[in-house]
Structure 1
Amino acid sequence: MSSSKLSTPTDLASNAAKSVADALNGILADSYALYLKTKNFHWHVSGPHFRDYHLLLDEQAAQILASTDAIAERVRKTGNTTLRSIGDIARRQTIKDNDQDFVSAKDMLAELREDNLKLVEQLREAKEIVDAAKDNATSGILDDWTDEAEERAWFLFEASRT
């Protein structure tokens, strides 16, 4: 095995790039936590709206998972390293796991809505960091990820209305 460091060229100042990477790695950890929670609820949802919720949660989980590679690649493009393990995710995640044996469909939707809104908050904070670093590429992508998380929260809200 080679012991040479990963070296990716970037024009971002090293301190700015490190701040961007830290923000993105936090978002990545929470994206994995949110993905797994969404799949957990997809697998365990029950009740009269089973099919609708089952499909909605599967679609949302796929969207979240699709973003993870792009997030990690942005970290690498800034000359930094990204998450390496489940343990690394667990150390960085702020979205809490849900290991309960039973969660009502109503509570599932509410919890995921709040988690997506928490992710939106993180994305907005990251936007300030990347804009200060003049990382235009990450800034633009953060807008897309923010819109996706807001849409997921909106769908979860609308689906849970009575």
Structure 2
Amino acid sequence: MSKAHNKSDKVSPDLDTPTDLAPAAVEKISASLNVLLADAFALYLKTKNFHWHVSGRHFRDYHLLLDEQSEAIFGTTDQLAERVRKIGGTTIRSIGQIGKLQTIQDNNEAYVPARQMLRELMEDNKKMAAAMRKAHKLADDNEDRGTAQLLELFIDETERRTWFLFEASRQEGANAA
């Protein structure tokens, strides 16, 4: 084997959850879910950042929308991590690991106009849905129905957030003109 890591190298015997999935499937699916988990934490924090810093005449509506969306995103984190553990993998353990795995980019700007916030989050949610579809295909290819079902639910929720952000940003653009 060219890779020095197999399931027994990564998982302590005390954490080696029994599964009927092949070790290679556990490794691939766990890796995919851990990237989704890191992205969920990154998107949660970005959405909270924008929630805290939104301003303008639609402040209340956007503030509430972003709070609701951040709670929904955070709600996926435990389910993703527990899914990794259920199939016998290990999951992220730190902020540093999140930073290494995340594909959703942070936004550390001092000020972001409301419409730009909504559009950026819309694009991030679209990216998340696409990544979830890829993870879903991987789960399907490895006959992991539990992961596939979980991701189907999360894809739908992510598409709903994308739609709401799209509509809210269109409204902002129309009102700002």
Q: What is the TM-score when the length of structure 1 is the normalising length?
A: 0.97
Structure 1 residues without counterparts, runs of 5 or longer: none
Aligned to 1:148: 157
- Per-residue deviation at 1:5? 4.4
Where does 1:46-61 land on structure 2 (aligned, <5 Å)?
46-61=55-70
Give the aligned partner of residue 92 of structure 2: 83
Q: After superposition, what is the alpha-carbon deviation per residue over 1:16-57, rounded to whole angstroms, capped at 9, x for unaligned?
A: 111110000000000000000000000000000000000000
Matched ranges for 1:131-142 at <5 A: 131-142=140-151
Structure 1 equivalent of residue 3 of structure 2: none
* Structure 2: stretches of 5+ with no match in the other structure: 1-11
**What's 2:25 paired with?**
16
For 1:43, the equivalent position in structure 2 comes to: 52
Once structures 1 and 2 are overlaid, which stretch shifts more, 118-127 or 5-14?
5-14
- Alignment match, 1:121: 130
CA distance in 2, matches of 1:31, 1:6: 24
Following superposition, the deviation at residue 7 of structure 1 comes to 1.1
Identity among equivalent positions (%) equals 57
In the TM superposition, residue 6 of structure 1 has moved relative to its aligned partner by 1.5
Confirm whether residue 95 of structure 1 aligns to residue 101 of structure 2. Answer: no
Aligned pair in 2 of structure 1 residues 138, 4: CA closer, same or farther (>3 Å)?
A: closer
The 1-side partners of 2:105 and 2:26 are apart by: 27
Matched pairs, number: 160
2:135 pairs with 1:108: no
1:66 paired with 2:75, answer yes
User: How far 1:58 sits from its partner (Å)?
Assistant: 0.1
Task: State TM-score, norm by structure 2.
Answer: 0.89
**Partner secondary structure for residue 96 of structure 1:** coil
Tell me, in whole angstroms, the C-alpha distance in 1 between the residues paired with 2:81 and 2:168: 31
Q: In 2, Cα distance between the equivalents of 1:145 and 1:8?
A: 24
Which residue identity lines up with residue 158 of structure 1 in the other structure? E
| RMSD between superposed Cα atoms in Å | 0.8
